[in-house]
């Protein structure tokens, strides 16, 4: 199916403002269906969860619908979906819960390719338990995360392996199934950060080998909420710290406070939006999600190739990493310009890109780039166009000309 980009873009009201958004990795624009769903809930009579009256039943249904939508998106069970305010908050909840059972001598494995949200909660939980942290290193040239090292990093005392399914800095897609296999051979738990990968293609919890997978809806056209999914039996076996009177059943007991019911409607609508990306797709929502996200992935990969070729043709631009399998996300620098200055110059021309370390702290620290400002990140999402890629490249030339940098 040809990706009907005009139809896709029409579903995002914010795109009419005319900015060029290469900042999806920091948060995508919101789909119209999401805005409508959130607004409808805010206009309707909605009470706190109660089966006793209709507005209370509505909020119960909003929670159930969001669990079921996220389950379809990730290939999980609705009862395996923990909802929360952000991936960071959910990972901290899990790290504190698991860490309470760790002992001195236990080990956890984290990677220097990961966003700090899938590093620091584990490092701090390990420190609190007296457990040892072991680090998986990436290849500085390619940006790959070699799988082979996990055979050495993982041992009898490994309790947890935390790894990303897609680097938010340079796009690398590590071989998570192979890493998970090594972790599972010693009974370690695998916690996968799917925040950057989930927006860019079909995701399946089981094929990834993930015991826990985390995703944030604001990276896939939805509101600022997140989810953490696992087999329901996993949640049933864990006891997080919680208020005495709050729900004791899993997964509810992992969710703190009263949920944002209106935004949960937005999560469901965002999943429905993704399920509609391929208008010819048939079958249940999970099948339509796979088709829609596969179509989006093909579109994004073509744009990524175009962007990478354009950047490679400009000698003054340095692109970091060249991983074989990657999300459509590129970090680069223009010679003679700080990343912040490049970002600002592009921003002045209406191009939205991130600069700095985007919390991929260990990556930029290891590369020796953090103290000098990190890099500039162009991240592609399915509403981007080939014309936008060409305009970004032209603007980089213009920026370089204005500042006297020889970008070409």
Ligand X SMILES: Cc1ncc(COP(=O)(O)O)c(C=O)c1O
Site string for ligand X, 199-238 (x = CB under 6 A): -----------------x---------x------------
Rounded to whole angstroms, the Cα distance separating 208 from 226 reads: 19
The H helix count followed by the E strand count for the chain is 14, 13
- Does 365 sit near ligand X (CB under 6 A)? no
- Does 326 sit near ligand X (CB under 6 A)? no
Report whether 265 contacts 38 (CB < 8 A): yes
Site string for ligand X, 9-28 (x = CB under 6 A): ----------------x---
Query: Which tokens belong to 14?
Result: 């914010």
Name which of 264 and 334 has its Cβ closer to ligand X: 264
Give me the least distance between CB of 41 and ligand X, in Å please. Answer: 21
Report whether 155 contacts 186 (CB < 8 A): yes
Please give the size of the binding site for ligand X, defined by CB under 6 A.
14
Name which of 78 and 199 has its Cβ closer to ligand X: 199
Give me the least distance between CB of 198 and ligand X, in Å please. Answer: 10
- Residues 193, 211, 272, 278: which binds ligand X (CB under 6 A)? 193
- Does 196 sit near ligand X (CB under 6 A)? yes
The answer for residues whose C-beta is within 8 angstroms of residue 2's C-beta and 6 or more apart is none
Rounded to whole angstroms, the Cα distance separating 408 from 406 reads: 6
Looking at residues 101 to 120 of the shown chain, list those that interact with ligand X (rule: CB under 6 A). 115, 117-118
- Does 142 sit near ligand X (CB under 6 A)? no
Name which of 81 and 337 has its Cβ closer to ligand X: 81
Report whether 82 contacts 254 (CB < 8 A): yes
Name which of 67 and 196 has its Cβ closer to ligand X: 196
- Does 168 sit near ligand X (CB under 6 A)? yes
Give me the least distance between CB of 230 and ligand X, in Å please. Answer: 17
Residue 179, CB half-sphere, CA atoms under 13 Å: how many? 28
Name which of 288 and 377 has its Cβ closer to ligand X: 377
Closest CA to 378 of 402, 354, 396: 354
Give me the least distance between CB of 19 and ligand X, in Å please. Answer: 19
Give me the least distance between CB of 199 and ligand X, in Å please. Answer: 10
Secondary structure letter of residue 23 according to DSSP: B
Site string for ligand X, 52-91 (x = CB under 6 A): ----------------------------------xxx---
Closest CA to 240 of 87, 95, 78, 49: 95
Strand partners, 161: 109, 190
Helix or strand run (H / E) with residue 193:
strand 189-193
The string of DSSP codes covering 207-236 is: HHT-SEEEEEGGGTTS-S-EEEEE-HHHHH
Which residue ranges make up the site for ligand X (CB under 6 A)?
Answer: 25, 86-88, 115, 117-118, 164, 168, 193, 195-196, 216, 226
């Amino acid at each position: 199916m040809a990706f009907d980009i005009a139809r896709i873009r029409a579903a995002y009201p914010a795109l009419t403002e005319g900015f060029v958004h290469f900042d999806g990795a920091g948060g995508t624009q919101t789909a119209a269906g999401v805005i409508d769903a959130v607004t409808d809930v805010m206009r309707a009579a909605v009470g706190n969860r109660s089966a006793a009256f209709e507005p209370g039943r509505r909020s119960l249904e909003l929670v159930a619908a969001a669990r079921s939508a996220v389950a379809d998106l990730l290939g999980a069970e609705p009862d395996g979906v923990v909802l929360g305010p952000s991936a960071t908050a959910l990972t901290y909840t899990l790290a504190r819960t698991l860490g309470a059972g760790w002992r001195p001598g236990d080990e956890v494995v984290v990677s220097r390719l990961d966003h700090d949200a899938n590093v620091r909660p584990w490092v701090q939980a390990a420190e609190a338990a007296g457990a040892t942290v072991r680090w998986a290193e990436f290849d500085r040239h390619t940006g790959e995360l070699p799988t082979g090292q996990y055979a050495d990093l993982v041992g009898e005392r490994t309790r947890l392996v935390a790894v990303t399914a897609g680097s938010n800095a340079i796009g690398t897609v590590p071989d998570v199934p192979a890493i998970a296999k090594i972790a599972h051979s010693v009974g370690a738990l695998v916690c996968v950060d799917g925040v950057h990968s989930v927006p860019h293609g079909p995701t399946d919890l089981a094929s990834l080998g993930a015991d826990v997978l985390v995703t944030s809806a604001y990276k896939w056209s939805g509101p600022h909420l997140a989810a953490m999914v696992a087999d329901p039996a996993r949640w049933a076996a864990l006891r997080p710290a919680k208020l005495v009177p709050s729900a004791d059943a899993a997964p509810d007991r992992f969710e703190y406070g009263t949920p944002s019911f209106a935004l949960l409607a937005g999560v469901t609508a965002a999943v429905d939006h993704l399920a509609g990306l391929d208008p010819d797709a048939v079958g249940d929502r999970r099948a339509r999600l796979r088709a829609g996200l596969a179509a989006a992935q093909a579109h994004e990969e073509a744009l990524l190739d175009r962007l990478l070729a354009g950047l490679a043709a400009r000698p003054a631009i340095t692109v970091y990493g060249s991983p074989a399998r990657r999300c459509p996300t590129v970090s680069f620098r223009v010679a003679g310009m700080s990343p912040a200055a490049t970002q600002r110059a592009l921003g002045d021309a209406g191009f939205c890109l991130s600069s700095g370390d985007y919390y991929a702290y260990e990556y930029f620290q290891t590369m020796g780039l953090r103290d000098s400002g990190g890099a500039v990140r162009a991240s592609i999402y399915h509403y981007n166009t080939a014309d936008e890629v060409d305009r970004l490249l032209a603007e980089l030339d213009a920026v370089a000309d204005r500042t006297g940098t020889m970008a070409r």
